[in-house]
Amino acid sequence: MVIGDLSLGKIIDRRIDFLLHNEIAPWDGDNYDLGEKDALERMLEDSGKLTESEFEEKYLKELVKLSNWFDGKEYCKDDDDEYYESYNNTIVSILELINPLHKYAPSDG
């Protein structure tokens, strides 16, 4: 099996397509789905513009920012907590494809 032409952008694009069109867990546009979609779309755009190290650095900083935000607030369903939780988890899942160490997100910048 040759996968020499498989890029991070293709993987992210497939995740977006699955999120929006699968029949297993159909798209309903709730905050959790929107967080995943927004993170994937942003990362897809950056995957074509940034080097690997720039991409990792940008999104590791984003994870630190999100972690600090979560640490400083109480969970509230009325806030966009589900959106940001999904956004965060999606970033981790894509970074983990680049380096499995990224599963253990940094706690500070």
pLDDT in tens, 50-64: 999 999 999 999 999
- Mean pLDDT in residue range 60-82: 80
Confidence of residue 109 (pLDDT cuts 50, 70, 90): very low
Predicted local distance difference test score (pLDDT) of residue 68: 86
Pairwise CA distance, residues 87 & 82, whole Å? 8
What pLDDT, in 10s, does the model give residues 32-49?
A: 899 999 999 999 999 999
